[in-house]
């Protein structure tokens, strides 16, 4: 068993620095200019206790013109920090009142230190509005939470800090509360686009009429703590699985000194285990990754640019063309699921429907029905819910498409075999979308269905070519010029066993390659794809910089033992400076995942609060004539 160590000790050892080189030549970037990174200095894989405890980042960057500058990591906030009388990560109930346990302690989504069910802080978006800079941060616990606060920027050095007395809890009560918020992005119109992962299975939930509990741990957590104050046994509200599994958006109104944060769930974008939604530069096409086992890949086309309240939802079909060592290749076709508005679907959700209101079911039985396993009139589907025989209740096609998206996609013939589908990003330099698949296994590596690849437990990243003038599978034109048409594995992790004498004996994926890729971000104009990990194959999770032209990999971040590197995200120009955000989720939390030989010798009680920070500032803007500041 590994020994846990304190984050306070880790901070002392890692010597985190803030700020950057400074002089008096700071100016805003010229129109259309951007920071062009050539390469990063390499971060070594941790061997010593001190390195295993630390957040380590590249200490220098070389820009495209050849100039080299120092880089630093600056922590902005961590769970339990207090600002403006609010506690970062404190969960609140359906009346927006703080939740306490029966012993009076606060319910905080910190990732590992407390009892809240979940992983802790996840994606945090930097937003620029009316000359001000804001951050919206979301927490990945069963009862989801979001907080917003203002950032201050040193105009000379570019250093970011949190403004005093600026943090606000963002209410989610008008849309049934939040749920397992995972990855996200800053939209082109500077709003925060979040996610709700691992939607509850409406078919399998059976609620006890007295306790109102179901046995589903996440769902019951929300019932007990969000819909009922644990200290008031007489207060209980009905919970419903169709409340959760959507894409939420937060917009900031910065017209007043105290900004207003408005939270909206986009019910018309469908319901699944959303890792994230990624908005393309046309401001209407959104790609959606579905995290889990036997899941799908989806595309949403908004009716209007910058407005995700109405649109058409499509599901992808993988048409395999090759099985390669990097994850295979396929052509992608698109199956239309339907068109809806948020208001339409929310109205249905508000009635607290049951699964049986949407689907008729029959037992899956290959003995009685050897050809399909299903009785006449039913279609066999295989998804995260397993083998099922379904048909849609008459008139409920819209509810099926947007509230049971994965099941309905499978029923119409879309591919639902992907495994741990994670981050998405876009490369405008080469017109490619990237999607991370944390593992190539299970439904992707069995001998049935659309996807038939060689198993790779270390995962792969795929590139998808963006095309225009594409028709769906019925021959109707898709109203977007940014439709992907294929999917090609471009880099994969390598399973590896190290000798007992190696310092990497606990590693099951090659230390010099990716392991279970999670979130990804592209550095525009730099040919660099940053790949973050969520892995057991590397006891310390890494972020990599991959040159998309040469395939060269450079390790640029190493996070503390037992943590995840969630949601790295590139901001190319915040008032002339660039930044990469970095969330360190539950440091020293997953300490039982690797070989005991990797355990730390330091015997210190762990402090495992998740945190958000930035790598940077990056400050060479091509075209501004100023060089390094």
Tell me the Ramachandran region of residue 119: left when phi exceeds 0, alpha when psi lies from -120 to 50, beta otherwise: alpha
Which residue matches tokens 């066999």? Answer: 380
pLDDT tens-digit series, residues 5-50: 333 333 333 333 333 333 333 333 334 456 899 999 999 999 998 8
Short-list 96, 46, 61, 39, CA closest to 552: 39
d(CA 311, CA 268): 7
CB 182 within 8 A of CB 286: no
CB atoms within 10 A of CB 553: 18
CB atoms within 10 A of CB 44: 11
d(CA 589, CA 610): 10
Which residues, other chains included, contact 222 with Cβ-Cβ below 8 Å and sequence gap of 6+? 142, 143, 177, 179, 239, 244
Say how many CA atoms lie within 13 Å of 229 toward its Cβ.
11
- 218 three-class SS: helix
- 54 three-class SS: coil
| Residue numbers in the chain where pLDDT is lower than 70 | 1-34, 112-114, 229-236, 590-607, 620-629
- In order of 125, 136, 308, 612, 624, the CA distances from 252 in angstroms are 12, 9, 16, 20, 30
- 162 three-class SS: strand
- 332 three-class SS: strand
d(CA 362, CA 168): 49
Short-list 9, 55, 72, CA closest to 562: 55
Which residues, other chains included, contact 594 with Cβ-Cβ below 8 Å and sequence gap of 6+? 2, 506, 507, 508, 536, 539
pLDDT tens-digit series, residues 458-479: 999 999 999 988 999 999 999 9
d(CA 231, CA 239): 18
Short-list 259, 257, 242, 94, CA closest to 192: 259
The alpha carbon of 72 is separated from its chain's Cα centroid by a whole number of angstroms, namely 24
Report CA dihedral (390, 393, 397, 400) to the nearest 10 degrees: -50
Q: What is the pLDDT of residue 101?
A: 87
Query: At CA 483, angle to CA 482 and CA 489, rounded to 5?
Result: 115
d(CA 481, CA 254): 33
Q: What is the pLDDT of residue 598?
A: 57
Which ranges constitute the DSSP H helices of 314-391? 342-349
d(CA 340, CA 330): 29
Q: What is the pLDDT of residue 556?
A: 98
Which residue matches tokens 């119409």? Answer: 412
Residue 9 φ/ψ, nearest 5 degrees: -65, -40
pLDDT tens-digit series, residues 274-306: 999 999 999 999 999 999 999 999 999 999 999
d(CA 433, CA 443): 23
d(CA 332, CA 145): 35
What would the two tokens of residue 110 be? 């910190």
d(CA 460, CA 202): 31
CB 413 within 8 A of CB 335: yes
CB 353 within 8 A of CB 399: yes
d(CA 114, CA 245): 25
Would you identify the CATH topology of the domain 7-340+418-618? Neuraminidase (2.120.10)
């Amino acid at each position: 068993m590994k020994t846990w160590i304190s984050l306070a000790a880790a901070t002392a050892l890692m010597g985190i620095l803030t700020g950057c080189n400074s002089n008096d030549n700071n100016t805003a970037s010229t129109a259309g200019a951007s920071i062009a990174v050539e390469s990063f200095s390499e971060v070594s894989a941790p061997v010593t206790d001190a390195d295993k405890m630390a957040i380590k980042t590249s200490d220098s960057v070389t820009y495209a013109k050849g100039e080299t500058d120092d880089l630093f990591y600056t922590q902005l906030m961590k769970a339990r920090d207090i600002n403006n009388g609010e506690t970062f990560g404190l969960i609140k109930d359906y009346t927006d009142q703080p939740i306490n346990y029966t012993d009076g302690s606060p319910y905080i989504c910190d990732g590992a230190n407390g009892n809240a069910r979940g992983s802790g802080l996840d994606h945090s978006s930097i937003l620029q509005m009316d000359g001000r800079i804001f951050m919206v941060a979301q927490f990945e616990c069963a009862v989801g939470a979001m907080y917003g606060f203002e950032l201050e920027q040193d105009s000379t050095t570019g250093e970011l800090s949190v403004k005093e007395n600026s943090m606000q809890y963002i209410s989610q009560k008008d849309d049934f509360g939040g749920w397992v918020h995972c990855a996200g992005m800053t939209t082109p119109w500077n709003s925060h686009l979040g996610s709700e992962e691992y939607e509850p299975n409406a078919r399998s939930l059976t609620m006890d009429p007295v306790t109102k509990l179901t046995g589903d741990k996440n769902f019951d957590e929300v019932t007990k703590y969000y819909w009922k104050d644990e200290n008031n046994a007489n207060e209980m509200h009905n919970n419903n699985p169709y409340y959760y599994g959507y894409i939420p958006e937060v917009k900031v109104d910065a017209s007043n000194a105290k900004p207003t944060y408005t939270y909206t769930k986009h019910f018309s974008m469908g319901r699944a285990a959303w890792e994230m939604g990624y908005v393309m530069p046309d401001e209407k096409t959104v790609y959606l990754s579905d995290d889990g086992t036997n899941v799908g890949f989806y595309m949403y086309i908004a009716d209007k640019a910058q407005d995700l309240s109405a649109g058409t939802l499509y599901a992808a079909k993988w048409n395999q063309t090759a099985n390669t060592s990097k994850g295979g290749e396929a052509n992608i076709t698109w199956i239309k699921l339907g068109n809806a508005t948020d208001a339409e679907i929310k109205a249905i959700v508000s009635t607290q429907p049951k699964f049986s209101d949407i689907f008729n079911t029959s037992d899956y039985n290959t003995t009685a029905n050897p050809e399909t396993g299903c009785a006449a009139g039913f279609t066999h589907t295989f998804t995260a819910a397993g083998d099922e025989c379904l048909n849609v209740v008459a008139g409920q096609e819209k509810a099926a498409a947007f509230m049971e998206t994965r099941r309905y996609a499978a029923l119409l013939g879309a591919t639902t075999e992907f495994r741990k589908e994670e981050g998405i990003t876009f490369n405008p330099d080469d017109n490619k979308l990237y999607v991370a698949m944390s593992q190539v296994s299970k439904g992707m590596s069995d001998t049935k269905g659309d996807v038939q690849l060689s198993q790779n437990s270390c995962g792969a990243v795929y590139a998808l070519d963006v095309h225009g003038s594409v028709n769906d599978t019925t021959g109707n034109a898709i109203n977007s010029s940014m439709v992907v048409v294929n999917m090609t594995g471009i880099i994969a992790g390598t399973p590896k066993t190290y000798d007992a004498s190696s310092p990497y004996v606990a590693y099951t994926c090659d230390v010099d390659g990716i392991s279970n890729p999670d979130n990804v971000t592209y550095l525009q104009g730099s040919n660099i794809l940053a790949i973050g990990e969520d892995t057991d194959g590397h006891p310390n999770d890494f972020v990599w910089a991959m040159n998309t032209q040469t395939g060269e990999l450079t390790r640029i971040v190493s996070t503390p033992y037992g943590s995840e590197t969630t949601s790295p995200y590139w901001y190319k120009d915040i008032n002339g400076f660039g930044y990469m955000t970095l969330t360190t989720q539950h440091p020293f939390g997953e300490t039982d995942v690797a070989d005991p030989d990797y355990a730390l010798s330091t015997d210190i009680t762990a402090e495992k609060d998740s945190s958000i920070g930035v790598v940077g500032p990056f400050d060479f803007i091509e075209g501004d004539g100023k060089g390094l500041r």
